[in-house]
Structure 1
Amino acid sequence: MEEEGPDRGVGVSALRIVVIGGGFGGLASAVRLAKFGHGVTLVEHSDTLGGALQPVRADGFTWDAGPSSTLLPAVIRDLFRKSGRPLERELDLQPLDLVREHRFADGSVLGLPSGSRTAQIAAFDELGGLGAAWAAYVDERAGEWEVLRRGYLEQPWDRDLSSRELSDLLGSREMLHKRLRKVLPDARLRLVASHPFVADGHDVRNVPVWMGAVSYLEQTFGTWTIPGGMTALGAALVDRLDTREVTVERGTTVLDVVVRKGRAVGVRTSAGDLDADAVVCAVDPRRLPALAGFVRRSMPAIPPVVCHVGLEGDLPDLPHEVVLHGDPMLVVRTGGTSPDGGAAWTIHGRGQIAEDVLRALARHRIDLRPHVVTRIDRSPRDLVEAWSGSPLGVLWQGRQTVRDRLGPTTPISGVYAAGAHATPGSGLPFVGLSAALVAQAIGPA
């Protein structure tokens, strides 16, 4: 093996690679690198793999613990194609008609169509002749997405080699909140545009304007899901670890990266040291002393309050996701699986939650309390402890945040970063892209 091989990204010898973390970012990195011909060991502190893709089960009901849908299906298709069998031979990824339904405080309702500019314009026109304003806002995001995709999300970013267009975009001082107030005249449009970030715990005043490209992705590529739950995605990747002969160390805590002469040579774990030519950090880097100093100015985005309920009886007919705007903001997801005659729903809460979540939901005329068979409540702390970090990644604190996070490379030679903390957006598409960047940076054997 050549000394600087892992940092060149092309023509390296087969490397011993340790991937830290068994969430989606770690799984995606491991199977890509193993397909490249490297010897990969994945280390996970818990006894199960999948992270936020792990299901929650009780009394015959099953809920998605994390994402229940995804944008950019091409990212998942590429992952499966580049690591083995095509996606279509293993999972049934299906488009949804709606991104979500928004219900506003004034009683108006918007069903946001998925994957159609024409349908979105018509839906906003029905809300009050707002289609043209919404279309103009989303159209402007298209150009920003292309700049980000080409120069930042699909190839490892080097600020010294960055195009002027990309540097100007990433360095812009304008935050999304200011742009929304400037170009969207109706408060309901601003709520729709800002929702993905509010739902992830961000203050829109601190989110860069270019992150508004999420609205373009929703309109252009649509929202997709797997019938029965997105947990099937995690299970398929766990199976692929076996196919790609990845060594898996479950129930093992990584304590730190072992660094000698400025270069990673292994990881220190609760079960002993593992030698490595390259290390992929697919967890919050704050957990690793060698990396923590490089991310001391960043903070994690905190998960919402979550309530999983198993239901029976005559329930309202709701789409897969309904947003009830207000304080608190409530999100109802209906896509779980249940015994015959039942339903498995999940409620997320954000904001001033001074009462039981189901009682707050009842004030919106969705009273599930008489129908509850079983219930699981999880606080933000519960979720962070269960996952040893936040799957929502880094909290936006202004334009500097993009430089405060690590990935795909890090200041330590031989250490790479993937996962929610290594990418500007949370969710499966951005995490999947981060894993692809790590594979590209390391290169094939």
Structure 2
Amino acid sequence: MRVIVIGSGFGGIAAAIRLAARGHQVTLLDKRDQPGGRAYVYRQDGFTFDGGPTVITAPWMIEDLFTLAGKRMEDHLTLVPIDPFYRIFFSDGASFDYSGDSEAMESRIHRLTGSSADVEGYRAFVAFTEKVFAKGFTELADKPFLHVSDMLKVAPDLMKLQSYRSVSGLVGRFVSDERLREVLTFHPLLVGGNPFQTTSIYTLIHHLERTWGVWFAMGGTGAIIAAFVDLFRELGGTLKLEAEVGEIRVDGGRASGVTLTSGREIDADIVVCNADVAGAYRSLVPRSARRKYTDRRLARTRYSMSLVVIYFGTDRLYRGDDGPALAHHDIILGPRYEGLLHDIFREKRLADDFSLYLHMPTLRDPTLAPPGGEAFYVLAPVPHLGGATDWNVMAKPYRDRIMGFLEERYLPDLSRHIVTEHMIDPRHFETELNSYLGSAFSVEPILTQSAWFRPHNRSEDVDGLYFVGAGTHPGAGLPGVLSSAKIADDLIAEKGR
């Protein structure tokens, strides 16, 4: 069959590889000048910056795509383990190394909290997340939820696993120390969720990381995309860049191809869309073909926060000689945890304070910067464009506050040593990535927007149209979007069209 895949992010390119491996004629389209979607790579002044995903988990899911094509991942890609997984800095100056080593974690927890009860609580929490993982990921992550009966079958198990609680609510049943609660609840932010609202099913991430680790691709995340593109082409697939889709053509209720913004029409038997779900339904699928996913329904949906991301390179090293020792992945928590998240997710208000994720990949791969330099990426969760923030006005002062804070607390004399910089904000997600409201992770992962309640992988409005990526089931994050590609591939194989 002739298949068009719209968007070459991880979900799109994984779906394209799977479909090409089945022998379909697959054309992968992307509006930008490089593949990767949110995993775009910025190269400037001798520095290489990963544009998006940097925390690599579930490496077997990457390896599966090479195996499908009869290739060995090791011949195309080098993944190295990261330890600690994260270094977490608290506003009081203390830090905590989060890793998969049980003995080390328990020792660190005792030093942080001084409480044997919290150590015991952590052990019980870890055991509980194993059960959540077994049901929520192993059994359900790559299964489609197309019918309400699919949800009803698993509802009793999900209730037993307390999925009705938030991540924060569940963690609070096991440990009492506030800083430890922050350590154990920040993960949903990596997939667009508020820990105080996101369903506790997402605590499965703890077991995923503990069991299979956190990894880094030498050369950056972009090296994974490059290896996937090579694999796709070896399977006979065609990649077309700077090919923006203006419309998904629908004839007789069925997807029949796409029309590019250039006016060119490309016919297809199947269309797989890796574009933002809400943005695609609103902008690409004709309104006359949308019975369920109307503009009104999409406007009522809750969406994840957006991001400000600053990529910057320095002409000196920062290895802890005159400041705190940084790790590969650093979580820098502000003085307000729940209050800040309330401002971002509920009030849609840009607060004066912030929490940050600081990525320092040159600790493992110095080739990402010129000799003697460092490549950094700092990320701040911010409200999506449904709020009142005018980013034309606020982008520069917000950037200055973040960089000033980093210089004062973590990177001495930073302003004198920055030699290159690039910044994106919610406007980028809306215009470059066609993400509705500039949301960075599409549909927010709350219980009533999960599984069957989430936009389905097979369109309910248009036959022959399938969705992969962060906004569909099972959700954002690399394991989630790779699972969505497997679901779409299985559904297409099952239906035959």
With the length of structure 2 as denominator, give the TM-score of the two structures.
0.80
2:84 is matched with which residue: 98, 102, 121?
98
Aligned to 1:308: 311
**Aligned partner (choices 368, 373, 377) of residue 423 of structure 2:** 377
- Aligned to 2:448, the other structure's residue is in SS state coil
Q: State the partner residue of 1:4.
A: none
Letter in 2 for 1:388: N
Q: Mark the CA change 1:135 to 1:143 in structure 2 (over 3 Å): closer, same or farther.
A: same
State the match for 1:12 in structure 2: none
Report the Cα offset of residue 191 of structure 1: 1.1
Which residue is equivalent to 1:6? none
Distance in structure 2 (CA, Å) of the matches to 1:117 and 1:297: 43
Alpha-carbon contact 2:5-2:16 (below 8 Å) kept: yes
Q: What is the letter of the counterpart of residue 414 of structure 1?
A: G
CA distance, structure 1, for counterparts of residue 27 and residue 202 of structure 2 = 34
Give distance in 2, aligned partners of 1:325 and 1:165. Answer: 39
The alpha carbon displacement at 1:322 in A equals 1.1
1:124 pairs, out of 88, 104, 109, with 109
Distance 1:232 1:391 in 2: 22
Q: Distance in 1 between matches of 2:401 and 2:44?
A: 20
- Give the 3-state SS of the residue equivalent to 1:207 in structure 2: coil
Whole-Å Cα distance in 2 between the matches of residues 400 and 146 of structure 1?
21
Amino acid at match of 2:443: V
2:485 corresponds to: 435
Confirm or deny that 1:408 pairs with 2:457.
yes
| 1:397 to 1:154, Cα distance in 2 relative to 1, 3 A | closer
Matches of 2:252 and 2:493 in 1, distance apart? Answer: 23
Q: Which has the higher contact order (CA 8 A, sep 6+)?
A: 1
Find the counterpart in structure 1 of residue 142 from structure 2: 154
Corresponding position: 1:273 with 2:272: no
Q: How does 1:5-84 map to 2 (within 5 A)?
A: 15-84=1-70
Structure-2 change in CA distance of 1:117 and 1:399 (3 Å): farther
**How much is the aligned-residue C-alpha RMSD, in angstroms?**
2.5
- Give, as a single letter, the amino acid of the residue that structure 2 aligns with 1:261: G
After the TM superposition, which residues 248-287 of structure 1 pair with which residues of structure 2 at under 5 Å, given as runs? 248-270=239-261, 271-285=263-277, 286-287=279-280
Structure 1 residue 161, shift from structure 2 partner: 5.0
Match of 2:194 among 180, 203, 223: 203
Q: Distance in 1 between matches of 2:110 and 2:72?
A: 40
Identity of aligned residues (%): 28
Q: Counterpart of 1:205 in 2: which secondary structure? A: coil
Amino acid at match of 1:441: L
Check if 1:173 corresponds to 2:156.
Answer: no
Output the amino acid matched with 2:491.
A
Label 1:136 to 1:425 Cα distance change in 2 as closer, same or farther (>3 A): farther
Worse-matched range after superposition: 288-297 or 183-192: 288-297
Q: Which runs of 5+ in 1 are unaligned?
A: 1-14
Deviations 1:289-345 (A, max 9, x none): 346526443344243211111112352342101111113102211104111111111
**What one-letter code is carried by the residue in structure 1 that aligns with 2:103?**
T
**Cα deviations by residue, 1:43-84 (Å, 9 ceiling, x for unpaired):** 212222111222112111111111223111111111221134
Q: Deviations over 1:101-138 (max 9, x none)?
A: 0111233211011x333332233233234332222112
**Distance in 1 (alpha carbons) for counterparts of 2:474 and 2:374:** 34
Q: CA deviation at 1:165?
A: 6.4
Aligned equivalent of 1:141, options 121, 129, 137: 129
Cα gap change, 1:23 to 1:53, in 2 (>3 Å): same
Q: Shift in Å at residue 397 of structure 1?
A: 4.6
Gaps spanning 5+ residues in structure 2: where?
A: 335-352, 363-367, 384-396
2:469 corresponding residue in structure 1: 419
Q: Judge conservation of contact 1:90–1:236 (CA < 8 Å) in 2.
A: yes
> SS in structure 1 opposite 2:419?
strand
Contact kept, 8 Å, 1:18 with 1:43, in 2: the verdict is: yes
Alignment of 1:309-388 (within 5 A): 309-315=312-318, 316=320, 317-326=325-334, 327-336=353-362, 337-350=368-381, 354=398, 355-367=400-412, 368-388=414-434
Say yes or no: does 1:289 pair with 2:266: no
How far the C-alpha of 1:156 sits from its partner, in A, is 2.4
1:314–1:442 Cα change, 3 Å: closer
Distance (Å, rounded) in 2 between the aligned partners of 1:419 and 1:153: 13
Question: In the alignment, which of 436, 445, 451 is matched to residue 396 of structure 1?
Answer: 445
Find the aligned partners of 1:334 and 1:252 in 2 and give their Cα distance: 33
Secondary structure at the counterpart of residue 153 of structure 1 = coil
Check the 8 A contact 1:333/1:347 in 2, yes or no. yes
Query: In the TM superposition, what whole-angstrom CA distance separates every residue of 1:216-249 from its partner, at most 9, and x where no partner exists?
Result: 2122211011122111001111112221111233
Q: Distance in 2 between matches of 1:161 and 1:117?
A: 39
CA distance in 2, matches of 1:283, 1:84: 28
Report how far residue 280 of structure 1 moved: 0.7
Query: For each residue in 1:388-422, what CA deviation from the matched residue of structure 2 results, as whole angstroms up to 9, or x when unmatched?
Result: 33552322354245444323222132211111112
Native 8 Å contact 2:137 2:204 kept in 1: no
SS of the equivalent of 2:121 reads helix
Supply the distance in 2 between the matched residues of 1:174 and 1:232 (Cα, whole angstroms). Answer: 38
* Paired positions, count: 430
Whichever residue aligns with residue 421 of structure 2, its letter is R
Pair 1:228–1:181, CA change in 2 (3 A): same
TM-score (normalizing by structure 1) = 0.89
